[in-house]
Structure 1
Amino acid sequence: MIESVSSPNNPIIKMAASLKQKKKRDELGLFSAEGLRLVEEAAESDWKNHILIITDQLSKTPRAQDIIVKLGSEGCRILEVPMKIYERISDTDQPQGIMLLLEKHINNLSGFFCKETPLIAILDCVQDPGNVGTLIRTADAVGCSAVIMTTGCADLFSGKTIRSSMGSIFHLPVYTDVSFDEIIHFTRTRNIKLVSTSLESSELFCKANFTHSTAIVFGNEGNGVSRELLAFSDSRLHIPIVGRAESLNVAAAAAVILYEAVRQRGQLSCN
Structure 2
Amino acid sequence: MISSRQNQRLKDIRRLRRSKGDQALLEGPHLIAEALAAGLPLDEVLATPPFLATPEGRHLARLLPAAPLEVAPELLDGLTDADSPQGVLAVARLPRAGVEALPVAPGRPYLYLDGLQDPGNLGALARVAEAAGAAGLALSPGCVHPNHPRALRASAGSLLRLPVAVAADPDALDAHLAPAHPRWAALVPRDGVNLYDAPLGGTLILAVGAEGPGLSPTLLARAGLRLTIPMEPAVESLNATVAAALVLFEVRRRGG
C-alpha deviations, 1:225-249, integer Å up to 9, x for none? 2121222222111112314121100
Residue in 1 that maps onto 2:117:
127
Could you tell me whether the CA contact under 8 Å between 1:120 and 1:145 is conserved in 2? yes
Could you tell me whether the CA contact under 8 Å between 1:31 and 1:101 is conserved in 2? yes
Residue in 1 that maps onto 2:36:
43
Show the 5 A alignment for 1:85-234.
Answer: 85-114=75-104, 117-188=107-178, 190-199=180-189, 201-234=191-224
Shift of 1:140: 1.0
Residue in 2 that maps onto 1:58:
51
Matches of 2:100 and 2:14, distance apart in 1:
34
Could you tell me whether the CA contact under 8 Å between 2:106 and 2:181 is conserved in 1? no
Secondary structure of the residue aligned to 2:166 is strand
Identical columns (%):
27
Moved more, 12-21 or 142-151: 12-21
Shift of 1:39: 1.3
Q: Which amino acid aligns with 1:153?
A: C
Residue in 1 that maps onto 2:251:
261
Shift of 1:189: 5.2
Matches of 1:264 and 1:54, distance apart in 2:
46
Shift of 1:262: 0.3
Residue in 2 that maps onto 1:20:
17
Show the 5 A alignment for 1:247-258.
Answer: 247-258=237-248
Could you tell me whether the CA contact under 8 Å between 1:204 and 1:238 is conserved in 2? yes
Residue in 2 that maps onto 1:34:
27
Unaligned ranges ≥5, structure 2: none
Could you tell me whether the CA contact under 8 Å between 1:117 and 1:213 is conserved in 2? yes
C-alpha deviations, 1:177-234, integer Å up to 9, x for none? 1123323434545301211112465201111222311111111211222121222222
Could you tell me whether the CA contact under 8 Å between 1:20 and 1:91 is conserved in 2? no
Residue in 2 that maps onto 1:269:
none
Secondary structure of the residue aligned to 1:57 is helix
Matches of 1:185 and 1:116, distance apart in 2:
14
Could you tell me whether the CA contact under 8 Å between 1:127 and 1:221 is conserved in 2? no
Could you tell me whether the CA contact under 8 Å between 1:196 and 1:217 is conserved in 2? yes
Shift of 1:133: 0.8
Q: Which amino acid aligns with 1:32?
A: L
Unaligned ranges ≥5, structure 1: 267-271
Q: Provide TM-score, normalisation by structure 1.
A: 0.87
Q: Provide TM-score, normalisation by structure 2.
A: 0.92
